[in-house]
Structure 1
C-alpha cells in the first residue's frame, strides 16, 4: 500500500485489507438478536440473587451461567466495537456500539450481586464445596481472586448502583476517542516533493521522520496545533476521567486509584515506584542517545522534531503489508510449528484491518474473542515501523490464541501486567532476525539498531515519563486540584525536559505531549509497557539463543492466560519481578545497542 494524498472512504478500502467481521456475525441484526438473548440470560441469572450461599450446586450454576453470558457478551460487544472503530463517522456503527454499551451495562447490573455474595461466603464452607461439588474446582482461582477484594466490594445495592452509572463514569473515554479520531483535523502540509498532502494520525511519522527539516518541522507543528487549540477541552476530559477513577477508588475503600488498579492483579505498588526510580537512575542512556543523533546528524541546535530522522540517511526496508507479513513470519520461525500455525491463521483469514481510512480509529491494537479469534487494527504506512507494529500486535494475538486453546474462558485473558510481554517479545525477535539477516550491511545495521533503540526509548523511557505524569495528575486531582490545561502543560513540560535532557531543544506547545495519549484513559496502564519491554527483552534473548527449555517455558507462559497471578506466571517463565534486577538487565542491552551504533557511526 502506498501513501495516498487523501484518505479513502471505508467503502473504497480493498476487502483483503479489512477484517472479516462475519467470523463473528453475518450482519448487525444477527448480533442484535443474539444480544437480546444474552440480556435475557443475565436476567435469569439474577433470579439467583441472595442464594449463592445456599449450597455448592447453586454457586456452581451461577458461575457457569455467568461464564456463558461473559463469552456471548464478549463476542457481541467486540463486534460492535470493531464496527465503530472501522469508521467512527459511520452513524449506524456508532449507534450499534451505543446499543452494545447500554446492554453491557444492563447485564453488568444484573450480575452485580455475585461478587458481594461470593465475598461473604464462609471460607470453611467454600472449601468443603470445592472438594465435594463436581465442576466447582474449575472456578477455584476465580473465586480466590474475587475474595481478595474483601473490604473493597460493596453491598449488592451499591454494586448495582455503580453498574448503572458505569457508562456515565466512563463517558470521558468515549468523548476523548471521538474527539481524537473523528473530529480532530491536522490540516495539510507540503511533502518532500512540494505536493500538498493531508496530515493524519497514521501518516504523521512519514513526515516527522523526513530528511527534509522543513517538512518534519511543519508536520510536527501542524500535528500539535489542534491539540493546543482544544487544550481546555482535552484537559476537562482528562480531569473528568481521573476524577471518576479517584471517586470509585474512594468508594471502594482504596487509598488511591493506583492502589485500586494494581491490587486487582496482585501487583505491589512498589513495582511502580521501582520502575520510576530505576529509569530515572539511567536517564543518562536516553540522553546519550540524543547526543549520538545530534552528533551524527550534525545539527545545532538539535530540535525535538529532529529526533525522528533516520541515521542511515533515508527510510530503509520499506515494506508493503504483504511483505511485512512475510517478514514477521520469517522472523518468528524460531517459535516452532504451533506458533507459526496460529500466525498463518491470523494472516490468511482477515483477522487484521490494515489500511487507514477516513474516520478509522488511529494507532493499533489487538482484541481477542474467546468464541472466535483475535482481531488486529493497524494503520499501515509501508514503513518498517508498521512491520514492527504488526509483529507487536501479532504477539498479543498469539497470546490470546494460545490462552483460548488452553484455558476456560474465565482464565483466557492474561492479567494486564502481562499483556504487553508477548507483544514486545515479538519486536525483540524481529530485531534479532533483521540484525542477523543484514549483519554484513553497515547501513542496514545502523537502521535496525536505531529501530531497536527507539523501542527502548519509546517503551521504557517514554512510558515511564507518561507513568510519572499520570501518577502526578491522579495524586493532585485526589487532593482537590482541578487539572487545567495550564497545570497539565506545566507538569508535562518538566517531565519532557527531564527525559529529553540537555541535547534536545523543545518546540511548540506542551499540550500535545499529554493530550494525544489515549492510554491515559486506561487507568494506570502505561507503566506496564516499560515493565513488559524489560521482561520481554530477557525472555526473547533466551528463546533466540535457544537456551534449553526457554521456548517451552515461553509457550507455557502464552498458554497460561490468567490462570494464576502474574508474579507466579512470570516466575514459571523464569523472570522474578519482585526486584528491579530485570530492569537493570534490560537497560544493559540498551547500553550494548548504543555501543554498537556508536561504533558503526565512528563517533
Structure 2
C-alpha cells in the first residue's frame, strides 16, 4: 500500500521557495522595539486631543505623530501577520499577531479624536494654517478626505465609543467565521477515484470540477445539507451584520448603507448601480454560455453543480513555478522595461512564499507596507490556475511598489476600489498573450478561452449577482423586513434563475448559497471585483493593442497611490468608471471570445 504523501513542515521547505522577512525586521527583537515604541506613544497622541485649535504648528505636530505611529504600526502588523500565516501552528507568532491586533484597536481609540476635532476647523482657519505653515500643504488631500465627510463624523466621545465597540459590531462576522471554518460538521463524500474524503470548502471546489456528474451532485447535495441545518443561525449572523451597517449609516446621516460604504472609498453610488444595470442588460450572454455548457457536456438537465467542470476534454497543461515565472515575464514585456525589471526583482529576491507546508494559510495574496517590499503568499500547484494567480498577485505587488516609490507615505497606499484593477489587468494581458501563443493550436486555445469565460462568469456575472443580493437585503432590513432564512432563500433562488436562465435548473439548494458566502460580511466589497475586472479588460486591451501612451497612462495610474479621488485616477488612465462605457467594452470582449469558443467547439 502506497504511503500517503504529506505536506512538508515549515522547516523542511527549501529557503529559496520562502519569502525573506528579514527585509522587514532582521530579528524578532527588532520587531519588539517598534512594537514597544508604538505602545509608548499611544498615551502621547491621546493627550494631544484638544490641541488642533492651537494653531498650524499644533496641527502639523499631531498629524506628523499620527502618521508616524500608523506607519510603524503597519510595519509591525505585516511582520506579525506574515510570520503567523507561514505556519499557523506556531504559538509564538499566534501570540505576536494577537498582540498586534489588540494594538490596532488601542491605536484606533487613541486617535479617535483626530477627525472630529479636525472638522471643527473652518475653511478660513485652514487657509490661515496653510499660510502660516507651508508644510501642511503636503497633507491637504488627506485633510480634504476628512472634510468631505463633514456631517458624517460624530463628536469625539461618540467616535471613541464606536471605535472601542468595533469588536461588538463585528460579532456577526466573527460568529459566521467560527461556524464556517471550525464548527460546521461536514460529512465524508466520494471523490473521482472512489476514495472517501472529508468535505470542506476547498474539497468542495475541487469536486465541482470533477468530470463525473455523480461526484459533483453528491458534493453539492451534502454541502448544502449542512448549511440547510444551520440556515436559521446563519440568517441571524448575516442579519446582525446588515443591521450593523444600516445602524452606522443612519447614525452618520447617510441615505443608505451602500452610500456609507462607498463613501469610505470616495466612490459615487452610480458606479454600483451602473454595474447592476449593465450586467442585467447582458444576461443574455450568460444564458448563451450556460446553454453552450449544457450542449458541450451533453446533459439532459444542467444543474448548478455542473457550472464549474471543464468544457475541454484535454487536461489543463502543467506549469511549474519556474516555467510560470518565464511566461509571466514574457507576457508582461508589453508593460515596458521598467515594470519588467521590478517583476524580476520580485522573482529573484524572495518576495514570494511559494509552496504549501503544514499549517500554512491557504489561498494566495499580496501584502506588505510602505517601508517593505511587497510579499506574495502562494500555495503552489503546477497548473494554469496558479500561473494566473502568480501574475494576478504580481499585479497587486507592482501596484504597491510603484505607489510607495512615487508618493509620500500619506498617499503611498491606494483605495480598495482600484486594487483589483492592477491584478486583473495582468490577468487579461496573460489571456491575450496565451491566445496569441496558441493561435495555431485549437485545443490549447479552447483551454485558455474556457478559463477566460469561466473567469468572467465568476468575476463579473457572479460577483454582480452577489452585489445585487447584498444591496437588496440591506434595503429590505432598512424598511423593517425581517431577514429570515426563508425570505433570503426565496429571493436568492429567484435571483439565481434570473442570472443563469432557463438552460440550468436552479436547484432548491442554491437558494442557500447566501448562507456560505463570507463576502456578504465585507460591507459592499464584492462589486469591486466586477468593476475592477471590467475596467482592466479595457486597460489591458489598450496596453496590448494600443500605443505607448496607453502603457504610460497605466504606469501613471500605478504611481498615483491615493493622491487623487479613485475615479479621477482611473479617468487619467483612460477609463471613466462613473459611466457605463467601460462595462459595455468588457462585454464586447466577452462576446467576441464566446463566439470564438462556440466556433471551436462546433468543429
Go from structure 1 to structure 2 and tell me whether the alpha carbon gap of 1:71 and 1:459 turns closer, same or farther (over 3 Å shift): same
Partner of 1:66: helix, strand, or coil? helix
Larger mean Cα displacement after TM superposition, 235-244 or 269-278: 235-244
Deviation (angstroms), 1:486:
3.0
Q: Distance in 2 between matches of 1:504 and 1:144?
A: 50
**1:63 aligns to what?**
63
Q: What 5-or-longer segments of structure 2 have no aligned partner? A: none
- Asked if the contact 1:234/1:515 (under 8 Å) is kept, the reply is yes
CA distance in 2, matches of 1:78, 1:472: 36
Quote the residue 1:579 is aligned against. 579
What is the root-mean-square deviation in Å for CA atoms of aligned residues? 2.5
* Residues 394 and 354 (structure 1), Cα distance of their counterparts in 2 relative to 1, 3 Å cut: same
- Residue 41 of structure 1 deviates from its aligned partner by 1.8
In the other structure, the counterpart of 1:558 is 558
CA distance 1:237–1:356, change in 2 (3 Å): farther
Residue matched to 1:381: 381
- Which residue matches 2:308? 308
Give the whole-Å Cα distance in 2 for the aligned partners of 1:523 and 1:57.
37
Q: Which residue of 2 aligns with 1:406?
A: 406
Q: Is the 8 A contact 1:5 1:198 kept in 2?
A: no
Change (3 A) 1:79 1:203: farther
- Matching residue of 1:466: 466
Paired position in structure 1 for 2:438: 438
Contact 2:216 2:305 in 1 (8 A): yes
Q: 1:147 and 2:147 equivalent?
A: yes
Q: Equivalents in 2 of 1:7, 1:203: separation in Å?
A: 16
- The CA distance in 2 between the partners of 1:255 and 1:108, in whole Å, is 26
Deviates more, 1:555-564 or 1:156-165: 156-165
In the TM superposition, residue 258 of structure 1 has moved relative to its aligned partner by 0.9
The answer to whether the 8 Å contact 1:485/1:511 transfers is no
User: Matches of 2:225 and 2:33 in 1, distance apart?
Assistant: 44
What is aligned with 1:393?
Answer: 393
Higher mean Cα deviation, 190-199 or 134-143? 190-199
Contact map agreement 1:428 1:540 (CA 8 A) in 2: yes
Task: For residue 185 of structure 1, report the CA deviation from its aligned partner.
Answer: 6.4
TM, length-normalised to structure 1: 0.93
Q: Which residue of 2 aligns with 1:368?
A: 368
**Aligned partners of 1:501, 1:324: CA distance in 2, in Å?**
37
Structure 2 residue aligned with 1:326: 326
How far apart are residue 285 of structure 1 and its match?
0.3
Correspondence for 2:423: 423
1:496 counterpart residue number: 496
Contact 2:490–2:511 at 8 Å: present in 1 too?
no
* Preserved contact between residue 493 and residue 506 of structure 2 (Cα < 8 Å): no
My pick for the range that moved more, 191-200 or 113-122, is 191-200
**Alignment map for 1:183-582 (pairs within 5 Å):** 183=183, 186-202=186-202, 204-357=204-357, 359-507=359-507, 509-510=509-510, 513-582=513-582
Q: Find the aligned partners of 1:137 and 1:148 in 2 and give their Cα distance.
A: 17
> What's the CA shift for 1:187?
4.8
Stretches of structure 1 lacking an aligned partner (at least 5 in a row):
none
Segment of structure 1 superposing worse, 135-144 or 11-20: 11-20
For these two proteins, the number of residue pairs brought into alignment is: 600
Q: CA deviation at 1:11?
A: 5.7
- Counting only pairs closer than 5 Å after superposition, residues 40-79 of structure 1 correspond to structure 2 as 40-79=40-79
Q: 1:356 to 1:465 in 2, by over 3 A?
A: farther
CA distance in structure 1 between the aligned counterparts of 2:147 and 2:69, rounded to whole angstroms: 21
Partners of 1:319 and 1:343 lie apart in 2 by 18
Measure, in 2, the Cα distance between the counterparts of 1:482 and 1:77. Answer: 39
Describe the SS at the equivalent of 1:542: helix
1:202–1:379 CA contact under 8 A, matched in 2:
no
Q: 1:569 to 1:178 in 2, by over 3 A?
A: same
8 Å CA contact 1:187, 1:198 repeated in 2: yes
Alpha-carbon distance change, 413 to 509 in structure 1, aligned in 2, over 3 angstroms: same
Determine the C-alpha separation between the residues in 2 that align with 1:449 and 1:481. 43
Report the Cα offset of residue 85 of structure 1.
3.8
Instruction: Tell me the CA shift for residue 422 of structure 1.
Output: 0.6
Counterpart check, 1:82 vs 2:82: yes
Contact 1:477 1:483 in 2 (8 A): yes
**What are the Cα deviations for residues 192-235 of structure 1, in whole angstroms up to 9, with x where unaligned?**
33344455544544432222333333343444454444434433
Is the CA contact 2:393–2:423 (under 8 Å) kept in the aligned structure 1?
yes
CA gap 1:173/1:406 in 2 versus in 1, 3 angstroms: farther
Question: What is the DSSP-based 3-state SS (H/G/I as helix, E as strand, rest coil) of the residue aligned with 1:509?
Answer: helix
Q: Is the 8 A contact 2:49 2:113 kept in 1?
A: yes
| CA–CA separation in structure 2 for the residues paired with 1:356 and 1:73 | 28
Distance 1:585 1:338, change over 3 A: same
Give 1:509 shift.
2.6
Contact preservation (8 Å) 1:312, 1:444: no
The 3 A distance-change label for structure 1 pair 201 and 89 is: farther
Query: For residues 136-168 of structure 1, what are the alpha-carbon distances to aligned partners after superposition, in whole Å with 9 as ceiling and x for unaligned?
Result: 111010011110010011111111111111222
Bigger mean CA deviation after superposition, 411-420 or 351-360? 351-360
CA contact (8 A) 2:329 2:340 kept: yes
Residue 105 of structure 1: aligned partner: 105
CA distance in 2, matches of 1:228, 1:27: 48
SS in 2 for 1:541: helix
Distance 1:360 1:217, change over 3 A: farther
Shifted more, 367-376 versus 549-558: the winner is 367-376
Q: Which runs of 4+ in 1 moved over 6 A?
A: none
